[in-house]
Amino acid sequence: MNDQIRPQPGIMDIALYEGGKAAVAGVTNVIKLSSNENPFGPSDKAKEAFQRSVHQLHRYPNTDHTSLRDAIADTHGLDAARVICGVGSDEIIHFLCQAYAGPKDEVVFTEHGFLMYRISAMAAGATPVEVPERDRTADVDAILKACNRRTKLVFIANPNNPTGTMISAAEVERLAQGLPPQAILVLDGAYAEFVDGYDGGLSLIEKCSNVLMTRTFSKIYGLGGLRIGWGYGPKAIIDVLNRIRGPFNLSNTQLDVAEAAVRDQDYVAKCRAENARLRHWLALALAELGLPSDTSMANFVLARFASVDEAEACDAHLQKQGLIVRRVASYKLPHCLRITVGDESSCRRVAHAIGQFKGVK
């Protein structure tokens, strides 16, 4: 062992991120409802683009992502020069921390916020600052109170994972305007497409110089396996992030598939409607079984159990039936299970199995 070889301070304190379980030993035909994936997969147009991309595998990809940025800009009415694409929105989060936060700086996020904010902050050597939520919802006053001269980044996901709750545009604006001048507000819009008519914070970005949003192809677009995300914000910030972005961070395949996917908004609308219908059904079915949940704006429902023991026992029961949901103890919600809204038969199966667990015939 060579104890002279050491990582930067803080790196060894990072707890490894664990993805949603995908298998149960001894059970075949599992239904995975643990990673908020689109049960219908990507659009056919995206799949066709994937097939075509096989002919370009020997070519280096384009480094400026022009074609994908144009498609995103066309679809959402944006300035393509202010779009940055990354290996999932995780990479955009990482760029932000690397570029703006270092030792002695603080990165603020909420109690039940996405684990990647803490990981990326610590990887940059910055100090993670976790702010309490109120009833599993971001609390703007508490966030503002936690900010100071050292605050460089404030992350909130709206809607949030794993709570599914959302704060209003007026509240987000109050947050943006109340931040200290050196802090950037990052609106994580991983689930924005599931909210009918929601712009992900776009109008606020156009109004403020300190707000940026991140978006992903992993959720409603059904492309989590391919790893594509993007960010949109002030030109000055996007210019900084592009300096640390690897020139070939996205492959031809990622670029072409994402472009085809974003141009197929009919498919997105179909998935949004089906998700809303089944989410409503699932939340009601759970409520009838005595399991409350907050109104979810995303593609999952966070079922609240009476105790940690009950949540664990129900999870074990579901696993035996090949139903994999997400335990969210690492999100400080040990008495809850996060259930992704699957297709109709998956929703029925999970509700039925929970009914069995609860002793309902």
Ligand X SMILES: *Cc1c(COP(=O)(O)O)cnc(C)c1O
Instruction: Tell me if 211 sits within 8 A of 185, measured CB to CB.
Output: yes
CA 321 to chain centre: 27
Binding residue (CB under 6 A) for ligand X from 46, 123, 138, 190: 190
By DSSP bridging, strand 229-232 and strand 211-216 are: antiparallel
Stretch that binds ligand X, among 24-32, 176-184, 212-220, 326-334 (CB under 6 A): 212-220
Distance CA 199, CA 140 (A): 20
Q: Rule CB under 6 A: is residue 213 a binding residue for ligand X?
A: no
Task: CB nearer to ligand X: give 279 or 349.
Answer: 279
Closest distance of CB 21 from ligand X, Å: 15
- Phi/psi at 166 (5° precision): -140, 150
Residue 68 vs residues 86, 150, 226: alpha-carbon distances, Å: 11, 35, 15
Task: CB nearer to ligand X: give 230 or 305.
Answer: 230
How many H-runs (helices) and E-runs (strands) does the chain carry?
Answer: 12, 12
Distance CA 8, CA 27 (A): 42
Q: How many residues does the chain have?
A: 361
Task: CB nearer to ligand X: give 163 or 321.
Answer: 163
Task: CB nearer to ligand X: give 38 or 252.
Answer: 38
Task: CB nearer to ligand X: give 222 or 354.
Answer: 222
Binding mask 296-325 for ligand X (x = CB under 6 A): ------------------------------
Stretch that binds ligand X, among 8-16, 26-34, 47-55, 211-219 (CB under 6 A): 211-219
Name residues contacting ligand X, limited to 18-37 (CB under 6 A).
36
Query: 18-46 in b/e burial notation, b at 16+ Cβ within 10 A?
Result: eebbeebeeeeebbbbbbbbbbeebbebb
Closest distance of CB 224 from ligand X, Å: 6
Q: Rule CB under 6 A: is residue 88 a binding residue for ligand X?
A: yes
Task: CB nearer to ligand X: give 128 or 224.
Answer: 224
- Please name which of 117, 276, 48 lies closest in space to residue 130, comparing C-alpha atoms: 117
Residue type, 281: W
Residue type, 142: A
At 42, is the secondary structure helix, strand, or coil? coil
Distance CA 232, CA 230 (A): 7
Task: CB nearer to ligand X: give 85 or 278.
Answer: 85
Token pair 């066709």: residue: 48
Name residues contacting ligand X, limited to 134-173 (CB under 6 A).
157, 161
- Give the binding-site size for ligand X (rule: CB under 6 A): 14
Closest distance of CB 90 from ligand X, Å: 3
Using CB positions, name the residue nearest to ligand X: 88
**Please, what is the Cα angle at 83 between 80 and 84, to 5 degrees?**
140
Name residues contacting ligand X, limited to 89-118 (CB under 6 A).
89-90, 114
**Please, what is the Cα angle at 259 between 300 and 60, to 5 degrees?**
120
Task: CB nearer to ligand X: give 193 or 256.
Answer: 193
Q: Rule CB under 6 A: is residue 188 a binding residue for ligand X?
A: yes
Binding residue (CB under 6 A) for ligand X from 43, 127, 218, 252: 218
Closest distance of CB 168 from ligand X, Å: 18
Residues that bind ligand X (CB under 6 A): 36, 88-90, 114, 157, 161, 188, 190, 216, 218-219, 224, 229
